């Protein structure tokens, strides 16, 4: 069965201080011909180039919060796109103050951006459907961190219903009725007889869902919209033995991440945002796996199929 692409490319996995060749947070998403960037730590434009990902095809940038390791790559990426003469608008979904930061930088460095930037501001108090088109929808989820922070849920729109090949002849379905059937409506044959949708179509594949939770302390309540994620990316800044640091800095341990994966019935857990104190990431992986077996380490350059 053909599934349109829904892929996550990892550009950065480091928490605040980059170490061991790990870059700060950024992910590039390809969903059925659309390209989304989530967070944009320093060096993101170089990482996109390194992994041959098309930065100019990004139409949507999602920013979880305004800590530097999630935004310090934005001024460089946005001005490079401008130097490359981008014309089409770019949407940025982010906390409101991001606009103050970028406007100040562009003004003081006299950067004239060649394309319109359209902001959609997030709020950290309740979940919200914040963007939708015919292919996917994006919701925000409040996270628990030192600054206003949201997670993101990216979910495919349902595909068309599938017309069963053999039924086309059996019911003599006219071609011009196909679209009605694909959309779930009943149809008619040339004689005006009703063709019930359920007789001739089958369900499309279930919609796929990617959930991005970084940065956050352990979430006590999680909204329904994040449930049943095919892949949950959850920050794992610390090991359980450093849970005191996790508490102070409002980050998560590997155990927290795994518990969240269980709670929302995720199929797969992807962990990242590693503290610079850990060179060996298997410690974090193995700790998460004690609770949630299907866990994978995010690594720069890795592609995850949702």
| Cα gap 253→240, rounded to integer Å | 5
70, containing H or E segment: helix 68-71
Catalytic entry in 69, 215, 230, 256: 69
Q: Which is nearer to its own copies, 97 or 294 (CB)?
A: 97
Question: Cβ of residue 226: shortest distance to its own copies, in angstroms?
Answer: 26
Nearer to its own copies, 101 or 159 (CB): 101
How many residues touch its own copies under the rule CB under 8 A: the total is: 38
Work out which of 53, 111, 120, 283 binds its own copies, going by CB under 8 A: 111
Structure-block tokens of residue 60: 């949507």
Binding test (CB under 8 A) with its own copies, winner from 17, 185, 262, 305: 17
Residue with tokens 């770019």: 90
- How many angstroms separate the Cα of 17 from the Cα of each of 21, 46, 69, 110, 275? 11, 18, 8, 29, 8
Verify binding: residue 248, its own copies, rule CB under 8 A: no
- Between residues 101 and 297, which has the closer beta carbon with respect to its own copies? 101
- Judged on CB neighbours under 10 Å (0-12, 13-18, 19+), 202 is exposed
Rg of the chain over Cα atoms, rounded to whole angstroms, equals 22
Can residue 16 be called a binding residue for its own copies (CB under 8 A)?
yes
For residue 11, count other CB atoms closer than 10 A to its CB.
30
Residue 105 engages its own copies in binding (rule: CB under 8 A): yes
Of residues 127-166, those binding its own copies (CB under 8 A):
146-147
Q: Confirm or reject binding of residue 277 to its own copies (CB under 8 A).
A: no
> Do 64 and 251 touch, CB atoms closer than 8 A?
no
109-113 long-range contacts, CB within 8 A, separation 24+: 111/79, 111/82, 112/82, 113/78, 113/79, 113/82
Q: In the bound complex, what is the minimum distance in angstroms from residue 138's beta carbon to its own copies?
A: 23
The answer to the question of residue 51 lying near its own copies (CB under 8 A) is no
CB of 98 to its own copies, least distance (A): 8
56 lines the binding site for its own copies (CB under 8 A): no
List 208's β-bridge partners, or say none.
Answer: none
**234 lines the binding site for its own copies (CB under 8 A):** no
Binding mask 61-90 for its own copies (x = CB under 8 A): -----xxxx-xxx-xx--xx--xx------
Shortest distance in whole angstroms from residue 137 CB to its own copies: 28
Piece in contact with its own copies (CB under 8 A), picked from 46-54, 119-127, 170-178, 255-263:
46-54
The footprint of its own copies on residues 162-221 (CB under 8 A) is none
Contact assessment for residue 107 and residue 187, using Cβ atoms and an 8 Å cutoff: no
Annotated active-site residue 215? The verdict is no
Round to whole Å and give the CA distance between 212 and 4.
Answer: 20
Across the chain, where does the E strand assignment appear? Answer: 6-12, 26-31, 34-40, 58-62, 90-94, 117-121, 128-132, 136-142, 150-156, 162-163, 187-188, 194-195, 201-202, 209-213, 231-235, 268-272, 295-297, 303-305
Interface with its own copies (CB under 8 A), residue from 27, 45, 216, 253: 45
Binding site for its own copies (CB under 8 A): 16-19, 21, 23-24, 42-43, 45-46, 49-50, 66-69, 71-73, 75-76, 79-80, 83-84, 97-98, 100-101, 104-105, 108-111, 146-147
Active site residues: 69
């Amino acid at each position: 069965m053909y599934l349109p692409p829904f892929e996550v490319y990892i550009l950065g996995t480091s928490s605040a201080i980059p170490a061991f060749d790990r870059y700060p947070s950024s992910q590039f998403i390809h969903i059925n011909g659309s390209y989304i960037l989530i967070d944009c730590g320093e060096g993101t434009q170089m990482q996109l180039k390194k992994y041959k990902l098309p930065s100019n095809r990004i139409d949507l940038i999602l920013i979880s919060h305004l800590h530097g390791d999630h935004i310090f790559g934005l001024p460089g990426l946005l001005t490079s796109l401008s130097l490359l003469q981008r014309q089409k608008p770019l949407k940025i979904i982010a906390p409101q103050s991001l606009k103050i930061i970028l406007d100040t930088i562009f003004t003081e460095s006299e950067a004239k951006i060649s394309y319109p930037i359209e902001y959609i501001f997030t709020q950290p108090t309740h979940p919200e459907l914040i963007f939708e088109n015919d292919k996917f929808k994006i919701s925000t989820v409040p996270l628990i961190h030192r600054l206003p922070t949201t997670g993101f849920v990216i979910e495919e729109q349902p595909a068309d219903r599938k017309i069963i090949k053999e039924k086309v002849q059996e019911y003599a379905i006219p071609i011009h009725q196909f679209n009605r059937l694909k959309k779930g409506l009943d149809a008619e044959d040339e004689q005006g007889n009703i063709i019930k949708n359920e007789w001739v179509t089958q369900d499309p594949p279930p919609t796929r869902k990617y959930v991005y939770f970084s940065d956050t302390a352990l979430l006590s309540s999680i909204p329904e919209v994040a449930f049943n994620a095919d892949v949950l990316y959850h920050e794992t800044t610390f090991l359980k033995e450093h849970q005191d640091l996790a508490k102070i800095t409002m980050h998560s341990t590997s155990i927290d991440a795994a518990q969240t994966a269980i709670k929302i019935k995720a199929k797969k857990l992807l962990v990242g945002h590693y503290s610079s104190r850990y060179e060996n990431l298997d410690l974090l992986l193995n700790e998460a796996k004690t609770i949630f077996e299907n866990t994978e380490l995010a690594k720069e350059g890795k592609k995850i199929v949702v």
